[in-house]
Structure 1
Amino acid sequence: MQLTLTAEGAAVLEEVLIEYLSELRTEIARTDAYEWRERLKSKETFLRKILQQIATQGLSHIV
């Protein structure tokens, strides 16, 4: 699947992902169930890859 974003769309997606990843790290740290924690870690890895793609395309607005 390929997703095409405008610069504005990429900025919004980046902002949402950064905010969610912060919350996800907290959830991972507080999760006792090993299998659930591993699922959350997989989700984190996937979302970080999306952020990396935004950065590689030169659309990152991280200061």
Structure 2
Amino acid sequence: MKVNGKTIPLDAEMTVHSLLMQLGLNPKRVAVERNGQIVPRARFADQALGEDDVLELVEFVGGG
């Protein structure tokens, strides 16, 4: 699958949530687009990923 333009291997039965954990990202601070569609945060844990998926991840960063 592709994540932010980079090809990464897909672990068996990976979800959006498990991918974010693997990448060290806080699910509360990330917006996810899967194949051109926004994935609601409430669906991160049950949204299965496939080899042909294209994901865009945007991490929100606070600052002053």
Q: If the TM-score is normalised by the length of the shorter chain, which range does it land in? A: under 0.3
Q: Whose radius of gyration is greater, 1 or 2? A: 1
So what's the TM-score if we normalise by structure 1? 0.23
So what's the TM-score if we normalise by structure 2? 0.23
Name the structure with the higher helix share: 1
